[in-house]
A and B are shown apart, each in its own frame.
Chain A
Amino acid sequence: EAGVVQSPRYKIIEKKQPVAFWCNPISGHNTLYWYLQNLGQGPELLIRYENEEAVDDSQLPKDRFSAERLKGVDSTLKIQPAELGDSAVYLCASSPIIGGPGTGELFFGEGSRLTVL
Chain B
Amino acid sequence: AQSVTQPDIHITVSEGASLELRCNYSYGATPYLFWYVQSPGQGLQLLLKYFSGDTLVQGIKGFEAEFKRSQSSFNLRKPSVHWSDAAEYFCAVGNSGGSNYKLTFGKGTLLTVNP
Contact = CB atoms under 8 A, between A and B. Distances in A.
Contacts of A45: 102-104
Interface string A99-116: 100011111111101000
A98 B36 CA distance: 19
Given A42-B105, A105-B34, A99 B51 contact: no
B108 A103 contact: no
B28 interface: no
Interface string A75-93: 0000000000000000101
B98 interface: yes
Given A41-B107, A43-B105, A105 B43 contact: no
A28 interface: no
Contact of B90 (A42, A103, A105, A113): A42
Contacts of B32: 103-104
A42 B43 contact: no
Contacts of A99: 98
Interface string B87-115: 00010101000111111111110000000
Interface in A26-58: 31, 33, 40-45, 48, 50, 55-56
Contacts of A113: 41
A93 B36 CA distance: 13
A4 interface: yes
A91 B99 contact: no
A20 to B, nearest CB: 19
A48 B97 CA distance: 14
Interface of B: 4, 32, 34, 36, 41-46, 49, 51, 90, 92, 94, 98-108
24 contacts: A4-B43, A31-B101, A33-B103, A40-B107, A42-B92, A42-B106, A43-B90, A43-B105, A45-B102, A45-B104, A50-B99, A55-B100, A56-B102, A91-B43, A93-B44, A98-B101, A99-B98, A103-B51, A104-B34, A104-B49, A104-B103, A108-B43, A110-B42, A111-B42
